Amino acid sequence: MPFITAGDPNLATTAELIRAFDRLDCSICEIGIPYSDPIADGPVIQASYTRSLQKKITVDAILETLGATSSQVRLPLVTMVSYAIVYRIGVQAYVDAALANGVSGLIVPDLPVEEAPTLSAVCRESDVSLIQLVTPTTSRERAKRILDTSTGFIYYVSVTGITGERTELPPEIVENVKWLRENGDLPVCIGFGISEPEHVRQLAPHSDGLIVGSAIVRRMAVEPDPNRVVASVAAYIESLQAEL
């Protein structure tokens, strides 16, 4: 499950990548809506958000691009979006616009379960998933509550920290994901830090999906030839898929 930042380096590339991920049979594509103050993100995704915002790419323009692209692919699209943005645009208005443009789910990384009821109700009515996160610091009691209200899948955050590539991932992931799968009906996908083929080998058998973000965004940023960006990302995804 790839993550890319919308509008980095431009919306045409975002659309082209979505089509490429569809051809590669990725299971879901996560689209990061750039935000000015992303506290859960490491330097790589922060920088991509800044680049995109500097080009004055708006939420309207992003959703329009997703709308034009979603009709061409089978790949479900979900937006990773700060609640600051959802609230300002309007909870109902954002969900309506997402739905109208073929977006099937929302991940709102700064909206814990306690603050989620309003958005959760609107999403349920519109049949848009509200994918909630469970982390290594989440108690089992909280995790049960999150399992009860999350829809689509559970995003298990592999590390106590921010997004970004890691060489080593904590050993308790497998146990925590196992518990989540046993205690709920939702698929459980793992994200944060995943970047190496070795990670895929270790975690794929124990989860329903692996989310790769910073590793893709960084590859795009360092690719010197703008015409090679999509090919370079596709080659990387294939190298990870080879481990499945």
Partner 1 sequence: MASSSTTASGNVPDHDGRFGKFGGRFVPETLMHALDQLTNEYKKAQRDPQFNAELQELFRDFVGRPSPLYFAKRLSEKVGGAQIWLKREDTNHTGAHKINNTLGQTLLAIRMGKTRVICETGAGQHGVATATACARFGLPCVVYMGEEDVRRQAPNVRSIKLLGAEIRPVTSGSRTLRDAINEAMRDWMSSVHNTHYIIGSVVGPHPFPMIVRDYQSVIGLETIQQSREKFGRLPDTVVACVGGGSNAAGMFFPFIDQAKVELVGIEAGGLGSAPGEHASPLSFGKPGVLHGSFSYVMQDVDGQTCDVHSASAGLDYPGVGPEHSYWKDSGRVRYTDCKDSDALAGFYELARTEGILAALETSHAVAGAMEIAREKKRDEIVVVCLSGRGDKDAAEIERLQSLSKK
Applying CB under 8 A, the residues found at the interface with partner 1 are 35-42, 46, 50, 53, 58-59, 82-89, 109-115, 118, 132-139, 142, 146, 157, 159-162
d(CA 159, CA 170): 7
Q: At what angle do helices 229-241 and 11-23 cross, to 10 degrees?
A: 30
Q: Which of 176, 158, 217 is nearest to 34 (CA)?
A: 217
Q: Which is nearer to partner 1, 36 or 92 (CB)?
A: 36
Determine how β-strand 77-80 pairs with β-strand 29-32: parallel
Q: Which is nearer to partner 1, 115 or 238 (CB)?
A: 115
Catalytic residue among 8, 16, 22, 30: 30
Residue 168 appears among annotated catalytic residues: no
- The residue whose two tokens read 């559970």 is 154
Q: Which is nearer to partner 1, 115 or 175 (CB)?
A: 115
82 φ, ψ (degrees, to nearest 5)? -70, 145
Residue 208 appears among annotated catalytic residues: no
Q: Which is nearer to partner 1, 87 or 174 (CB)?
A: 87
Q: What angle do CA 196, 160, 31 make, to 5 degrees?
A: 60
Longest dimension (CA), the chain: 49
Supply the minimum distance, in Å, between the C-beta of residue 150 and partner 1. Answer: 11
- Please state, as a whole number, how many other Cβ atoms lie within 10 Å of the Cβ of residue 235: 11
Q: Which is nearer to partner 1, 43 or 197 (CB)?
A: 43
Supply the minimum distance, in Å, between the C-beta of residue 51 and partner 1. Answer: 12
d(CA 24, CA 238): 8
Supply the minimum distance, in Å, between the C-beta of residue 53 and partner 1. Answer: 6
* Three-class secondary structure of residue 209 per DSSP: strand
Q: Which of 188, 185, 209, 186 is nearest to 199 (CA)?
A: 209
Catalytic residue among 41, 125, 175, 208: 41
> Which run of H or of E encompasses 46?
helix 43-54
Supply the minimum distance, in Å, between the C-beta of residue 15 and partner 1. Answer: 20
Supply the minimum distance, in Å, between the C-beta of residue 243 and partner 1. Answer: 27
Any idea which residues carry the catalytic annotation? 30, 41
